[in-house]
Amino acid sequence: MAQSATRLSGYLTAPAGAFFGGLIALDIVLLFAVSGYVLIEAGWNYGDAGGSPLEKIHPATMLAALILLLTAMTAANPLVPLAKGFGERPRVVFYLATVFLMMAQAMLVVGLPFTVFIDTFIGPVLVFLFLAEVDEDRRRRLAWLIHGLFVVNSLLGIAEVGLGFRLTPLHIEGETLEEEWRASAFIGHPLSNAMLTGSYMVLLLSGGARDLPQFLKPVLFLIAAAGMVVFGGRAATGLVVLFVVWHVLRRLVDVLRGRPFDAALVLLGLIGLPVLAGGVLVLADAGFFDKFLSRLVDDQGSASTRVEMFEIFKHLTWAEILLGPNADYVHNLMRHYGLDYGIESFWVAIVLSYGMIAGLVFFAGLFMFSADVVKERPASLAVMIYFFAVASASLSLSAKTHGFSMFIVMILVLLPRGRAQEAAAVTSAPDAGQRAGRARLQVA
């Protein structure tokens, strides 16, 4: 009875042991290494009409749901951890309600597929529930896995551009982009690569490198920076530069105020900066930055499309803007204004696709969910702002993607928990029935 007086925590956290640890590691590998383009090349009807309903869902999302279900089944009554797990997170419940509202809006009002919401917005909740309170030993192992995946992804992207091959073709709106120079690597679309690699760099500066040896931290950061060049995301790169400048200035102010600093790190910087400058000059002389710089100078009309998208509103009535316009009509207007590859702003695309009323309700739910993530990992506020700022300049979350799930995993695994969450975890635990059930499924 005394247990009910404390906050019941961890009901949906995956149990310890090799079985669940292996499933979670596999889920992360699927998230970060199997893009939608890989599924299309494998013959799945992932992005097109037709095929099995299961082909519309990424394997990582299905595995995340299975992990959550198996976690619940370790209790004597599986409904108890599900009820209590969601019951202690009302903001997540509200967010899911807004997602289901958008799915209903898509099916019943505007005539759009609803499966886009499963990978894009339900998947992140699944990984959040079983990773939010992950134990430190498992978190550390998963952190090394994520660091390794980002290193390989960046190096693969560099190899694609340098050697002139592509891991997977780029398919957009049913069209294969033959002339696109930007790398696809593991993550898939170049802009998704840039947004997530940029988020990784911000995380490294926000405490996400805490599991790495000191000498490895700048190495991984520079590899990711080189990856940003071959992924070619201008908004993502520009915002990373702003964040790095802000971070350096903040640390400099702290030192001037007398805050202790790591002398070894300063020495490493003094030695490494000339080497880095020399390396940049060599790469520049070899033409490594040429295509990226040419994209900065000539965006091939990308900036103008962000102006043209607002012209669509002039052709809609207030009722259509508020409740949602006909999808075919909006698609024809997009083609008229040369927006063949989509609306290059997540927020505008949601409103034009599903209406302002449903969109604003959904945005409120998304804010609630993001606030819950920041509550669990307070150091994630900066990277959360970065992620949504970049999303504002591209199709991003308005299309089918599991990038948001990847982003949530990165935050939960790389950043430390808040003190309040750690204290709650110490003073609370799942009930004895759930612990006994978990013991039956654990495989050491």
Average pLDDT over residues 268-282: 59
Please say if the pLDDT value at position 342 is more than 90: no
**Alpha helices of 298-345 — where are they, by DSSP H?**
302-308, 318-323, 327-336
What are 175-185's pLDDT values in tens digits? Answer: 666 677 788 89
Instruction: Give the C-alpha separation, 325 to 139, whole Å.
Output: 45
Has residue 187 got a pLDDT over 60?
A: yes
Mean pLDDT along residues 168-177: 70
Residue 96 burial (CB count, 10 A): 17
Q: Is 224 helix (H, G, I), strand (E, B) or coil?
A: helix
Q: How confident is the model at residue 269 (pLDDT cuts 50, 70, 90)?
A: low
Nearest Cα neighbor of 106 from 350, 420, 364 is 350
Domain positions in the chain: 2-261+345-441
In tens, the pLDDT along 384-416 reads 999 999 988 887 888 889 999 999 999 999 999
Report DSSP state, residue 110: I
Q: How far is CA 32 from the centre of its chain?
A: 10
The pLDDT of residue 44 is above 90: no
> What are phi and psi for residue 172, nearest 5 degrees?
-130, 125
Q: Which residue has the tokens 């309170």?
A: 133
What pLDDT was estimated at residue 49? 65
Q: Please, which pLDDT band fits residue 309 given cuts at 50, 70 and 90?
A: confident
Half-sphere exposure of 385 (CA within 13 A, CB side): 10
User: In this structure, are residues 386 and 178 in contact, taking their beta carbons and an 8 Å threshold?
Assistant: no
For the purposes of burial, counting CB atoms within 10 Å of the CB of 388, is it exposed (0-12), middle (13-18) or buried (19 or more)?
middle
pLDDT at residue 290 is higher than 80: no
> Greater confidence, 216 or 280?
216
- Tell me which DSSP letter residue 176 carries: E
Distance CA 218, CA 244 (A): 13
Residue closest to 199 by CA, chosen among 428, 383, 15 = 383
pLDDT tens for 205-216 read: 999 999 999 889
Q: Could you tell me if 429 and 15 are in contact, meaning their C-beta atoms sit under 8 angstroms apart?
A: no
Q: How big is the chain by its Cα radius of gyration, in Å? A: 23
HEC secondary structure over 225-282 = HHHHHHHCCHHHHHHHHHHHHHHHHHHHHHHHCCCCCCHHHHHHHHHHHHHHHHHHHH
Instruction: List all residues 6 or more positions away from 408 whose beta carbon is below 8 Å from its beta carbon.
Output: 124, 127, 128, 131, 373
CA 32 to CA 394: how far, in whole Å? 20
Can you read off the two tokens belonging to residue 437? 């059930």
Residue 408 and residue 124 in contact, taking contact as beta carbons nearer than 8 Å: yes
Average pLDDT, whole number, for the chain? 82
The mean pLDDT value for 330-350 works out to 80
- In angstroms, the CA 335 to CA 234 distance is 24
CB atoms within 10 A of CB 59: 17
Rounded to 5 degrees, what angle do the CA atoms 283, 286, 290 make? 85
Mean pLDDT, to the nearest integer, of 92-107?
95
pLDDT band at 2, cuts 50/70/90?
Answer: very low
Lowest mean pLDDT among 1-5, 11-15, 128-132, 431-435: 1-5
CB-CB contact of 38 with 78 (8 Å): no
Length of the chain: 444
